[in-house]
Amino acid sequence: MKLSRSLFPSLLVLVSCVAPYEPDLRADTFDILVVDGFINSTNNSATVRLSKAVPLSEDVQPSQDIVATVNIEDDGGTTFTLTNQGLGYYSLENIALDASKKYRLHVYSQSDHEYISDFIELNSTPPIDSVVWKPDDGGISIYVNTHDPSAKSGYYSWNYTETWEYTSTFFSSYKLIDGEAFSRTPEEYIYSCWSTERSTDILVGSTNLLSEDVVRNFPLTFIPGESSKLALRYSIEVEQRVLSREAYDFWIQLEKTTESLGGLFDPLPSQVLGNIRDSGASTDPVLGYFSGGAVNKQRIFIDFADLPREILSIYRPRRCVLEDVSSIPVEELRGTPNSVLLIDPVYVQGVGIVAYTTAANYCIDCRMLGGTNKRPEFW
């Protein structure tokens, strides 16, 4: 886990109080459901992700498409059914949540197992004070700050979503349709793209043993200076939640278990107890936690020009160079597939356009690097 200097003393004590649990997991019985569920009382929504853990000794990927019926029930008996979004994700919006009630999760699997969580309360969450970045060892580190004047929070978790703008090497002014070249409209440009990634690290912290409920410069992520994320413009939106003590202990133990593996839905070497169990006679283990409460967010932008000189000067190689460009004579366009991307026309004085330049598609189409050419609304 990534620890800020101000939180390290209290976290060290808390971690030492959580004893690891390492059951005898046999390969022939290792079929463990993994559940990550959260009720967001800020926007009245709920999300649940289901997956399966596998032994480290097996060279297979965990199942990513668990089909089940997923419900949320309040302590008054009202039930809400989540919608299957595919790949193990279930969600529901516009839920009539009541902060005075408690909620629990039901998962009904296709194998007729019912998994049920403990009832949980919806926690309140203080605002994020600031998200800041600082130069750090050839890159930048990003931190979050918060505090609770009522001193009732104590346990925090954070997630973040990164978005960054990048470009292809060459700008495509023209497109090829059935042997003819046509100018692209602005909506058809494939030069500028935006990529988005959500955090996968477990980021939790506690102020429980501090004199004040204050989090100072908790480290969220580090971006190397040569990363394409910093080449033009970068944005990070941080989400903050308050945890119960039990949820905090779960995530601390899970972080210790998965710190070398990457995340909750990677193969796990040992079992971590959560607040979800099989409600029947089966003793099949379940990994995961169901929690809920308010979510507060804050977004910042970092422009390339904002970076310090030592990061600005770091060399960021291009995928393509001018030597990768070739040309297609106009008379050969008829036999050229529409999938070939054009860059610019080649003019000869007194003759006009005699050819069009081209290159490999990944040099021209920014979408081939994983992003989208649709500008985000917040950009």
Per residue of the chain (379 residues), what is the pLDDT tens digit? Answer: 343 333 323 332 333 334 444 444 444 445 688 899 999 999 999 999 998 876 555 555 555 678 899 999 999 999 999 999 998 999 999 999 999 999 999 999 888 889 999 999 999 999 999 999 999 999 999 999 999 999 999 999 999 999 999 999 999 999 999 999 999 999 999 999 999 999 989 999 999 999 999 999 999 999 999 999 999 999 999 999 999 999 999 999 888 876 655 555 555 545 567 999 988 766 677 889 999 999 999 999 999 999 999 999 887 777 899 999 999 999 999 999 999 999 999 999 999 999 999 999 999 999 999 999 999 999 9
Q: State residue 279's pLDDT score.
A: 85
Are the C-beta atoms of 160 and 239 separated by less than 8 Å?
A: yes
Q: State residue 281's pLDDT score.
A: 64
**CA–CA distance from 210 to each of 44, 185, 198 (Å)?**
32, 58, 30
Q: Name the residue with tokens 């197992």.
A: 113
The tokens describing 222, both together, are 């580090």
Are the C-beta atoms of 265 and 51 separated by less than 8 Å?
A: yes
Are the C-beta atoms of 99 and 294 separated by less than 8 Å?
A: no
Q: State residue 104's pLDDT score.
A: 97
DSSP readout, 286-334?
Answer: EEEEEEEE--EEEEEEEEGGGS-HHHHTS----S--GGG-EEEEGGGGG
Q: State residue 54's pLDDT score.
A: 61
Interatomic CA distance for residues 24 and 207, integer angstroms? 35
H-helix or E-strand containing 361? Answer: helix 361-364
The tokens describing 166, both together, are 């990048």
Are the C-beta atoms of 142 and 223 separated by less than 8 Å?
A: yes
Backbone angles phi, psi at 120, to 5 degrees: -125, 155
Interatomic CA distance for residues 15 and 343, integer angstroms? 57
Q: Name the residue with tokens 């100018």.
A: 183
Q: State residue 314's pLDDT score.
A: 86
Interatomic CA distance for residues 182 and 285, integer angstroms? 60
**How remote is the C-alpha of 22 from its chain's centroid?**
29
Q: State residue 261's pLDDT score.
A: 53
* The overall pTM is greater than 0.85: no
Choose among 171, 51, 146, 44: nearest CA to 95.
Answer: 44
